[in-house]
């Protein structure tokens, strides 16, 4: 494990309570809502003041949100960066202002900002591995030729970049798997449906959909059904996140495979903050373990899905 050396970073004094910022990306899906709730619940439990902002899907607003947290002199900032490049500058600005930043769930461009130097650490899933797991599952379970439509996440975000890379690396060189098209649905349900409708017209022979999140997969299912196709049977559906709605769709046989991306960050995020204040060495990356769901275990997993 690589450990962040806190030397270049702003110090966080040990205090009974903190005023901490949480700069959220957007709130348009159950995953984000679960993440926010987990952060708010934990702050409340600890008696910390949480300064919460919602960038509403705009990287520019999120940069301004971080600016406002700096102006309010929060003790530390939890940041879920919408896109890799624009938020790297915000991280550096906070550091220059003497405020430690912990990245949650999404990363910034590693060539622009580094753990242990510009921010304390990154806490979240291994997005490359998530994409790999989908690709490996497909290679193992596909009978015959797979003709795949890939619905990409938000352009310029680390989960979109990494889930694509992991998947494409895992299926590269496999003659049975052909990617027909890859297009962004911006991690949103309705955009996923619209994009799927268009791509279905261009590629009526599609028999696999890989969506970078549940929301786009649910949108794609609506488009498939409107076109008279049976999701889960005529067209295999795979996604990442693992919220209750998609796990139920696995139980119903409309979705074939889901890799979880755990949104419950609160306990780990605040424990890391306290460790940092106590002067403990913090790993450069703290990776959340993720489950997966298939027809075999979905029913049992439903109760604990977010
Ligand atoms: O960064 C994690 C991704 O962002 C989740 O998969 C998605 O649902 C969310 O908007």
pTM greater than 0.80 (yes/no): yes
Distance CA 128, CA 159 (A): 8
Q: Helices (DSSP H) in 24-183: which residue ranges?
A: 30-46, 59-71, 86-96, 127-141, 158-171
pLDDT at 12 exceeding the cut of 70: yes
How many A from CA of 26 to the centre of ligand 1? 10
Q: Is the ipTM of this complex over 0.90?
A: yes
How many A from CA of 31 to the centre of ligand 1? 7
pLDDT tens profile 182-219: 999 999 999 999 999 999 999 999 999 999 999 999 99
Distance CA 12, CA 75 (A): 7
How many A from CA of 34 to the centre of ligand 1? 11
31 Cβ below 6 A of ligand 1:
yes
241 Cβ below 6 A of ligand 1:
yes
306 Cβ below 6 A of ligand 1:
no
Distances from the Cα of 137 to the Cα of 45, 156, 230, 245, 256, angstroms:
39, 26, 20, 21, 10
Distance CA 129, CA 207 (A): 23
pLDDT tens profile 232-274: 999 999 999 999 999 999 999 999 999 999 999 999 999 999 9
**Pocket residue to mutate for ligand 1, from 23, 26, 29, 130, most atoms within 8 A of Cβ:** 29
What is the distance of C-alpha 298 from the center of its chain?
Answer: 21
């Amino acid at each position: 494990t690589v450990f962040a050396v806190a030397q270049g970073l702003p110090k966080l004094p040990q205090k009974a309570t903190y005023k901490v910022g949480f700069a959220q990306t957007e709130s348009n899906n159950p995953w984000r809502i679960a993440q926010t709730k987990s952060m708010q619940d934990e702050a409340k439990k600890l008696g910390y003041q949480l300064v919460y902002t919602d960038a509403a899907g705009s990287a520019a607003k999120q940069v301004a949100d971080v600016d406002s947290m700096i102006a309010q002199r929060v003790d530390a900032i939890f940041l879920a960066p919408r896109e890799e490049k624009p938020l790297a500058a915000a991280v550096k600005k906070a550091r220059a202002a003497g405020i430690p930043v912990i990245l949650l769930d999404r990363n910034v461009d590693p060539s622009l900002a580094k753990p242990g130097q510009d921010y304390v650490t990154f806490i979240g899933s291994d997005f490359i591995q998530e994409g790999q797991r989908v690709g490996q599952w497909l290679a193992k379970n596909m009978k015959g030729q797979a003709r795949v439509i890939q619905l990409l996440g938000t352009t310029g975000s680390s989960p979109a970049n990494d889930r694509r890379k992991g998947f494409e690396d895992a299926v590269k060189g496999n003659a049975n798997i052909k990617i027909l098209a890859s297009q962004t649905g911006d991690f949103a349900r309705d955009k996923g449906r619209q994009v799927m409708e268009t791509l279905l017209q261009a590629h009526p022979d599609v028999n696999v959909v890989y969506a970078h999140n549940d929301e786009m997969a649910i949108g794609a299912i609506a488009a498939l059904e409107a076109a008279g196709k049976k999701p889960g049977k005529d067209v295999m559906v795979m996604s990442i996140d693992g919220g209750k709605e998609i796990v139920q769709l696995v139980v119903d046989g409309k979705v074939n495979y889901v890799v979880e991306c755990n949104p419950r960050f609160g306990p780990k995020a605040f424990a890391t903050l306290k460790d940092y204040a106590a002067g403990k060495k913090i790993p450069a990356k703290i990776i959340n373990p993720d489950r997966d769901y298939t027809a075999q275990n979905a029913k049992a997993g439903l109760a604990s899905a977010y």
